[in-house]
Amino acid sequence: MLGLDTTSRDRVCPWELRDTLKVFAFYFLMMSLGSAMLLAGARKLLGQDPFAVYGANTVALALSLLTNALSCLYVLYIVNVRLGQPVASLGFSLLDWRKNLTGGLLRYAVILPLIILTGLLVELTTRNAGITPEHQEIVLRFLEERSYFGIIAIIAFGALIGPVAEEVLFRGFLQPALRDTMGRVKAILITSFLFAMVHFNVYIFLQIFILGLLLGYLYEKTNTLVAPITVHILHNSVSLCVLLWFKQAGGTF
């Protein structure tokens, strides 16, 4: 499957699976309990609701940015400080970057029609069942946002910051630990499943899962994050450009 050896152990991951469990436990705690605690602290500090002062979109983006940043710093602490491993062990390498980048973009061009078709099938199936699909929170915030600053901030997070952070967490950190435990194919499948899960939207699960399979494959094929990060940024950028065009045209879902 995917042209990968299912049992290869040619690259031994310096960190253990339990290290990834700690990071992702922290990640989910920050997204839930941590965010609530930060908001409560901000209310006491400001004397009023942060949503009323800065707006819901700004606060939500700030919390998402903080969660991703702290999670990535936690990864860097484990890899670089505690284990003494170079950052390159996460996949930050420019070796053969042109070849890897070209190969990644070509494979994305092949997979993109499948992702689009999957989305259309899910949309058609749910609507025929009398269910209106719910869009991602970032999509709804993007469509609702009226200020140029807010729109630019959402684009920066969705098209750049988010993809880089997610590739570090899922492909650079989680996938190698899973690979050493259960082989490459299972590692890609599990990582892709969790990657789709954290987007918290059942209607786009299959699309994100397929994208995750491609990103995981590219990471294993190239041994670097160059192709996965680039493809992830491109995918999110294209999606946001379509949404921006739709928003400017005054369309509604």
pLDDT in tens, 4-25: 544 444 558 999 999 999 999 9
Radius of gyration, alpha carbons of the chain: 19
Can you give the pLDDT at residue 37?
84
Does residue 117 carry a pLDDT above 70?
A: yes
As a whole number of angstroms, the distance between CA 105 and CA 224 comes to 14
CA distances from 214 to 76, 150, 221, 240 (A): 25, 31, 10, 20
Task: Decide: helix, strand or coil at residue 156.
Answer: helix
Confidence of residue 113 (pLDDT cuts 50, 70, 90): very high
Min mean pLDDT across 36-40, 106-110, 221-225, 226-230 is at: 36-40
Q: What is the pLDDT of residue 129?
A: 84
**What's the whole-number average pLDDT of the chain?**
87
| Of residues 28 and 35, more confidently modeled | 28
pLDDT in tens, 150-175: 778 888 888 899 999 999 999 999 99
Euclidean distance between CA atoms 11 and 162, whole angstroms = 27
Q: Per-residue pLDDT for 2 more than 50?
A: no
What is the total residue count of the chain? 253
High-pLDDT (> 90) share of the chain, % = 55
pLDDT score recorded for residue 223: 92
Across 241-246, average pLDDT: 76
| Cα–Cα separations (whole angstroms), residue 190 to 12, 56, 175, 176, 194 | 18, 33, 8, 12, 6
pTM, to two decimals: 0.88
